[in-house]
Structure 1
Amino acid sequence: MTTPLAATLDVPGARLHYEVRGRGPVLVLIHGGAGDAGVFHEIAGPLAEHFTVVAPDRRGHSRSPLVPPGGTPRVAEHSDDIHRLIGELTDEPALVYGSSSGAVVALDLLARHPERVRTVLAHEPPVLGLLPDAAAYRRLFDEVRATHRREGAAVAMRRFLTGVGLVDDTWEMPPLSQLPPTLRELMERMAANEPFFLEHELTEITAYEPDTDALRKAAGRLLIGVGRDSTGQAPGRMGAALADRLGLEVTELPGGHTGYVEDAGAFAARMVELLGDGGLTA
């Protein structure tokens, strides 16, 4: 596994931690949910054989503190962060992969800063407003937030994950003591991120309305990814709804909503297939 070079970048309102591996065209990986750069550990090594892989902790997550602390970052702030990060690393447009809420950030980046992007692969962006049953999910997320305040992050996260179909009632997280050290450290950081995600990001990210006019103009540089195993799950449905709205075909990816963890080897190979020649062209 390629050892990453860790660095920081000061941006308005935050200090971004990011990790760099490999050589070649810049490929930025944007995490979702309560994650951080560490969620891409398993795919970063194979991808680094083809790309300069850059994985930041989004502002407010893990090692990227808000400066000063507090507040709810807007999607535009996250995408501006990626815009500045790309400019720090290269003079050329970058390849961008975004997972879940990271996919929303990638869409906003493409819509607002198209000059910074060569190809975006947006994996199941939670563009909730495109679903016919969006109101039911908004009620669910309000309930999740109330549960967090009443019963804590662990209970609320379980309610969230079961409510959107990512896990079932039998799912149990293995004890941290049984996990390898790197994964244990990641899970500890993610647990620490959960209150921020539940209180500040869940409703903010899912309220985002993509600029479909701008995205149609950039459609030659956009892939909407949906996991092979995501059929019927809310995130997969949202990704498919966005592709339909933009007149694009869905790009199938291995696994489900977190295929980069579930089947890392196949997922990395699929990304190389999609992006290895620079991806799509405008």
Structure 2
Amino acid sequence: MHCALHYLASFGHEDTTFREYAGYMNIIAAELEAAIRENRGLSLSYQPILNISDRRIDSAEALLRWHHHELGLVSPVRIIPLAEQAGLMNKLGDWVLTEVCRQYREIPNCSLSINVSPQQLEQEGFADNIVMTLEHARCNGRQLEIEITENHQLNNTNHVRKNIRQLHDLGITIALDDFGSGYADIHYLYQYEFDKVKMDRSLIAQLGKNKKNDLLVESLIRVLHEMDISVTAEGVESEVQLRMLEKLQCDRIQGFIISSPIEASKLTTFIQAYRQ
């Protein structure tokens, strides 16, 4: 997609260029659909998450990668908008869930989280589909976490509430991702039942550098705990950030200070080694 954006920028804004760009993106979307259908070129890596209280890795986030013949390794930041625009989010989400269920047996005593877009959560029957996938794979819902990404505002509150309620009934943990990055964070907290909040890396990056930011993070953690919501800090990269988050009684941290994303086959070994 970066290639397409560069292509567009290099040609001005004539109608012809937009048509060429749209045609290029249609080709990329068709290739993504083929990759999903043929189970080709897509893969998952997992970023470990540390429980601060006992210094154990107790969960990991599944991160989607697409190995494209022209664009190289494509990250979720570029895949998801394309999938949403092309109407492929349900198919892509099914692929991710099926793959996580296939791999979870290799990763004992560790919850695995998947990212779900508002577009998916707003669909009637979304939770039913997850139930069927879990049953088919004989997976325990208590080992699954769903992170709701904030790429656009949640609508259709009745379907969202129903889906979240069904997922909770399965023992699935529901997390609000990128908290503090925009849209309707605070509004979501009292409108929907979240078990966990993942604090956006933009807040964590300023820890120890900006007093107002530090006070904001401290206040958010305290309020979330009072609401019985656990807090995970994303994008933790330094010992200073880790020490401050520990002092503020943040529950978990995720970031390069723990590990970059790793293959499923290496995750169990990493978890065991980290506990030594």
Check whether TM > 0.5: no
Calculate the TM-score normalised by the size of structure 1. Answer: 0.32
Higher RCO (C-alpha 8 Å, min separation 6): 1
Calculate the TM-score normalised by the size of structure 2. Answer: 0.32
The structure having more radius of gyration, on CA atoms, is 2
